[in-house]
Chains A and B, each alone.
Chain A
Amino acid sequence: MASSSTSVVVSNKEKENKNTKKVTLKSSDGESFEVDESVAMESQTIKHIIEDGCANNEIPLPNVTSGILSRVIEYCKKHKEAAGESEPSVTSYTSNSTTNPLTEWDTEFVKVDQNTLFDLILAANYLDIKGLLDLTCKTVADMMKGKTPQEIRETFHIKNDYTPEEEAEVRKENQWAFE
């Protein structure tokens, strides 16, 4: 080893530590989550907060509970990893599963109860995480396909505010959709 050389060969591990900045995210119910900055920046909302220099100690996320936040972080970690290992995956506009190597993992990820699914949608929307929003909304849309309006109302606990006459009229206008 040429020990007198002033240039320092930085080992890979040290390089990792040097580049691994962390941020702390705080959920609405007060729990703190420390994550790699690069993972947190999967969220465009958080990315802007960090870039604007407002992320001093913790980033508070008053709209996201700890249960949901931990899942969101899990999603971001997994997708960041996958992106790092291969070509940067272009999250296509319509989530073409043949180009997404994490299709199976994603499918398992959304196998949750309906409330959790909707909370994930709200979180993905608030945090502006395109891939997660795409995945969760598509899951809900798939649940709706093939259902009658009444079945959809029951699934989503929606009140029918049409009078029977109004409902018959809308239905008749869109008769083709029921064929």
Chain B
Amino acid sequence: MKYCEDPDVMIEILRRLPLKSLLRSRCVCKWWNHLISEPLFISNYTLCNPQHQVSGFYMQTFLFLSMNPELRFIPCTDQIDAAPSPSLSFIEDENGVCINHSCNGLLLCSSFRCCLEEERKYYICKPTTRQYKPLPRPACNTVNGISIAFDPKRSPHYKVICICGHDLLAKHCQIKIYNSYEGCSWRDSGNPFVVLDEFLFNRGVFWKGALHWVGKGKFSLGFDVERELLFTTPMPPILEGWAERRLGYFGESGGHLYLIEIYGPQTTVFDVMEMSGDYSSWFVKYHVDLSGLAAQYPSMIRYNVQDIHRFVFSVLHLVHRNVGENEEEAILVLHIPGKLIPYNLRDNTLINDFDPSPHLMGMEENLGLSYRWESVHPFSNTVCYI
């Protein structure tokens, strides 16, 4: 029949369907599936259906006897109904599943309770619609880190970058890439490279088309995904008097890359640094002093024998948003014993109307901190579905 053959007409009908009906329609025929999978259709649908977009973060802890890690999801926006359910049990893996990396709405997960790397399976997953896809194994004995590079504004396809330990050359790594467009297997990218400093390969951050791994020495490492080039960016000098760098947070939000170093625990003062667009340096974007917070929440302070205060807090997440025309909003989610506290970086105040406590049943004050930034995976889905 004629009307079913006109793509413009079909698109006008399909885009008015609610999300579940739309996804069911993919099963009707190949042509509809093709129309619904077109990047332009997806981005228009996403724009017209903002109720499905949620921004927040996962908190993951590993419990001794449990098959799966414990996951909680804390939404940072109003669309709480759109929040993904924190359980990943829809991924069928007899060893349970944990989150390795998160990027623009995609999660990279892998088998949790398995001893040998060759037993471990990897998955790309979209938790809001519970879609997931197993990836072929990277085929290396040691995986130092594995991250997704995904920018839905540029392409519906994603790449997965794996930093493998080299089997023969000590202190060498090899990058392998999986491309969802090609879809079959991993391939080596470039030659093995020597790694002398310590880099947090398991905490990659995707920013400006490159994956960034923060370093504990003089440099951070970056990998331009498109051009497959490794590069270094300078880290700020380690604070005088300290032998080791104290990383407090490293992440991206709203198109900016942030770094926090906290030379504690006897301090409540630290800077939030932002990387300049040309990668030349870090500059101080916000200066934070939490002494007011400590006064309000005594659980944050521990006293030891010599009456020196020790402040117990960690930074979990930084959210930067453009609100309205020229307004920016920047919120730090702090963790103190038993609580999550959102903190407004622009005017150094606490935010009262964000209450994550319904999600936090079971966090005990006495046990100190349950989470640090490495246990957190930010999540914001910028498109409605894979």
Partners in one complex: yes
Which of the segments A2-10, A22-30, A75-83, A156-164 contacts the partner chain?
A156-164
Q: Which of A94, A121, A149, A159 contacts B9 (CB 8 A)?
A: A121
Give the size category of A's interface with B.
Answer: 35 or more
B26 touches A (CB below 8 Å): yes
Give A122 to B131 CA distance when docked, in angstroms: 35
A55 touches B (CB below 8 Å): no
Contacts known (A153-B28, A167-B27); A177 close to B3, Cβ less than 8 A: no
Contacts known (A122-B9, A137-B16, A162-B30); A176 close to B21, Cβ less than 8 A: no
Instruction: Give per-residue flags for B1-34: 1 if the beta carbon is below 8 A from chain A beta carbons, else 0.
Output: 1111010110011101111111111111111110
Q: Which of B1, B27, B131 contacts A162 (CB 8 A)?
A: B27
B202 touches A (CB below 8 Å): no
Q: Which of B4, B6, B18, B27 contacts A149 (CB 8 A)?
A: B27
Q: Cβ of B12 and Cβ of A121 under 8 Å apart?
A: yes
Question: B26 → chain A, closest Cβ, in Å?
Answer: 6
Tell me the total A-B contact number using a CB cutoff of 8 A: 95
Which residues on the A side are within 8 Å of B12 (C-beta)?
121, 125, 133, 137
Which residues on the A side are within 8 Å of B26 (C-beta)?
170, 174
Q: Cβ of A171 and Cβ of B9 under 8 Å apart?
A: no
Instruction: Give per-residue flags for A138-179: 1 if the beta carbon is below 8 A from chain B beta carbons, else 0.
Output: 101100111111001100111111100001001101111110
Q: Which of B1, B4, B130, B133 contacts A176 (CB 8 A)?
A: B130
Give A158 to B3 CA distance when docked, in angstroms: 11
Question: A97 → chain B, closest Cβ, in Å?
Answer: 14
Contacts known (A144-B21, A146-B21, A177-B129); A170 close to B27, Cβ less than 8 A: yes
A–B pairs, 26, beta carbons within 8 Å: A118-B1, A118-B3, A121-B3, A121-B9, A121-B13, A125-B6, A125-B8, A133-B12, A137-B12, A141-B13, A141-B14, A141-B16, A148-B24, A152-B25, A156-B4, A157-B1, A158-B32, A160-B29, A161-B31, A167-B27, A170-B26, A171-B27, A175-B131, A177-B19, A177-B21, A177-B129
In the A-B complex, the 6 residue pairs with the smallest Cβ-Cβ separation, listed nearest first, are A177-B23, A118-B3, A141-B16, A149-B27, A176-B130, A174-B23
Footprint of A on B, CB under 8 Å?
1-4, 6, 8-9, 12-14, 16-33, 48, 90, 129-131, 133
Footprint of B on A, CB under 8 Å?
93-94, 118-119, 121-122, 125, 133, 137-138, 140-141, 144-149, 152-153, 156-162, 167, 170-171, 173-178
